[in-house]
Amino acid sequence: MKLKEIIRGINPIKLQGEDKEISSLSYDSRKTGLGSLFFAIKGNKYNGNDFVEDAISKGAVGVVSSLPPLKEGITWLQVVDVREAMAIAADNFFSHPSRELKIAGVTGTNGKTTVVQLIAYITKGGFISTVENWYGRREKARLTTPESPDINWMLREMVNSKLKYAAIEASSHGLYFQRLNRIDFDICIFTNLSGDHLDFHLTMERYFEAKSLLFKRIEGPEKWAIINTDDPYGKRLLSMVNCGILTYGMERENSIHPEDFKMGIEGIEAVIRTPVGEFEIKSKLTGKFNLYNIMAAMGASIVLEVKKERIQKGIENFSGVKGRMERFTYSGINVIVDYAHSDDSLRNLLESVREFTEGRVITVFGAGGDRDRSKRPRMGRTAGYLSDLVIITNDNPRSENPFRIIEEIETGVKEKTSLYMKIPDRKRAITKAIELAKPGDTVVIAGKGHEDYQIIGDKVVHFSDQEIVEEFFGRRDETKGR
């Protein structure tokens, strides 16, 4: 595609060079190839302008940068905002794929992955999520919300695979960094908002502002916002949208709400009232937070005019997401592996677990290094209050001292209980928890969920909570999944 077609809608400060044929878009010099248009993005650790020469040496024929031309004889666009320009270029380069799909964007602190994958399961559509992406084939995800060229490439692959629907996780980082600009969303869903990522956003207000960007991009009666108004930030969103609105929550005034429900370790049964009538649903998911997730997915499916029977069947057959309330049982002991890594998500998880646990709740968790430190004591208080025994361990310490992270969690735990242990080695911590468990007890392993690695210093080492559980039990066929 010619450069002039790709940059349509971009107003450069300066344009130098010829109208070249562009074969690909690149924002990583290591992955730049012959005929690429290279976007010099400034990140937290690296500045793309430092890698322009490297990109050119690998075949880039054009550069988009916020700086004036650093090199003569190459096509160069100087722009005010490189990320905004990249989103426009990606939309143009892949021929506006989001216009050919019905797309739901899901934002919130918790529940995004489950809602996205459940919508895709019901509609038989594609999805882009924290755990994995599906666009006609499956791939492991690297980012919750990928960069705009990657998103548009996947959406084009969905169209090529004859998919009609897509669901995308819209993280606060993804929205802030404009990765979702120019995506033509039909539905935007808000799940909830609680303290997380404050190392980046600094305040809850700024965190909310980032999330609300998704809803400011949809307008018109054919578009829909689906909002959890049991959450106070959801109530605030209602006055910020200019499209159709469906609300969901436990209260009867919501458009979608349960008339009745019961839940246990095997799942949820509920009667859900909606604008198109009552739905009797059964689900393998459990916990009240998953009832919210189900209602959010139902809202999207109703707006998309999916048949009632297909919605019910999709909810019933959906087995869940890897690392989200993933259950193993052995000799009467339940083990739950979950991604919960904030105080709110940990509280939701432990409250749900307590509802179906006859014996003790033993919780193993840590906190990520180089991330929001303010949530560590809050997570400790939550675990101490809702657990019978807490084992504090490592998560992904990254460049931080892992013992300091554990100490910061401990300050919160000991406010609520004296029944806790500190075992920095995560494998030993998990093994100890299961060794201590008796029939009727539940061991909760929180924080990493689907992740199969640990980041220690600058090293990434293989580590899977699930594998440790299965190794302890000795034989895979003696464990039972979700």
Same domain, 70 and 34: yes
Q: Which of 317, 344, 373 is the last residue of a domain?
A: 317
Q: Which of 295, 317, 339 is the last residue of a domain?
A: 317
pLDDT in tens, 390-441: 999 999 999 999 999 999 999 999 999 999 999 999 999 999 999 999 999 9
412 is a domain residue: yes
Cα distance between the two ends of the chain: 47
88 is a domain residue: no
HSE-CB at 200 with a 13 A cutoff on CA atoms is 16
Q: Using CA atoms, how far apart are residues 159 and 482, in angstroms rounded to an integer?
A: 32
pLDDT at 481: 43
Same domain, 270 and 199: yes
Note whether 369 and 404 are within 8 A (CB).
no
DSSP single-letter state for residue 179: T
Which two three-digit tokens encode residue 241?
Answer: 């949208």
For 175, left (φ over 0), alpha (ψ -120 to 50), or beta? alpha
Same domain, 158 and 282: yes
86 is a domain residue: no
Query: How many domains would you assign to the chain?
Result: 3
pLDDT at 44: 75
Same domain, 462 and 346: yes
CATH of the domain at 279: 3.40.1190.10
Same domain, 130 and 12: no
Write out the H or E segment, with its range, that includes residue 345: helix 343-356
pLDDT at 403: 97
pLDDT values of the chain reduced to their tens digit, one per residue, 482 residues = 999 999 999 999 999 999 999 999 999 999 999 999 999 998 777 899 999 999 999 999 999 999 999 878 899 999 999 999 999 999 999 999 999 999 999 999 889 999 999 999 999 999 999 989 999 999 988 888 899 999 999 999 999 999 999 999 999 889 989 999 999 999 999 999 985 656 666 788 898 898 899 998 888 989 999 999 999 999 999 999 999 999 999 999 999 999 999 998 889 999 999 999 999 999 999 989 999 999 999 999 999 999 999 999 999 999 999 899 999 999 899 999 999 999 989 999 999 999 889 999 999 999 999 988 999 999 999 999 999 999 999 999 999 999 999 999 999 999 999 999 999 999 999 999 999 999 999 999 999 999 999 999 989 999 999 999 999 988 543 444 43
Same domain, 433 and 386: yes
Tell me whether residue 204 is exposed, middle or buried, using C-beta atoms within 10 angstroms of its C-beta: 0 to 12, 13 to 18, 19 or more. Answer: middle
Q: Using CA atoms, how far apart are residues 228 and 191, in angstroms rounded to an integer?
A: 6
Same domain, 253 and 306: yes
pTM of the model: 0.88
91 is a domain residue: no
Which two three-digit tokens encode residue 100?
Answer: 């050919």
pLDDT in tens, 328-341: 999 899 999 999 99
Domain enclosing residue 458, as ranges:
326-478
pLDDT at 199: 66
**Dihedral angle sign, alpha carbons of residues 245, 249, 252, 256:** positive
Same domain, 308 and 334: no
CATH of the domain at 464: 3.90.190.20
Note whether 300 and 104 are within 8 A (CB).
yes
Q: How far is CA 470 from CA 109, 171, 330, 353, 433, in A?
A: 30, 32, 10, 20, 14
CA 263 to chain centre: 25
Strands 75-78 and 14-16: antiparallel
Helices (H), 304-336: 308-317
pLDDT at 478: 44
Same domain, 306 and 330: no
Same domain, 376 and 454: yes
443 is a domain residue: yes
Strands 459-462 and 453-456: antiparallel
pLDDT at 197: 59
pLDDT in tens, 200-250: 667 888 988 988 999 988 889 899 999 999 999 999 999 999 999 999 999
pLDDT at 422: 98
Note whether 6 and 92 are within 8 A (CB).
yes
Q: Which of 17, 51, 81 is the last residue of a domain?
A: 81
Phi, psi of 277 (to 5 degrees): 115, 180
87 is a domain residue: no
In 170-325, the DSSP E strands lie at 187-190, 219-228, 242-248, 257-264, 267-274, 277-283
CATH of the domain at 33: 3.40.1390.10
CA 15 to chain centre: 37
356 is a domain residue: yes
Same domain, 151 and 257: yes
89 is a domain residue: no
Note whether 207 and 286 are within 8 A (CB).
no
Q: Using CA atoms, how far apart are residues 156 and 91, in angstroms rounded to an integer?
A: 10
Same domain, 147 and 295: yes
| Total residue length of the chain | 482
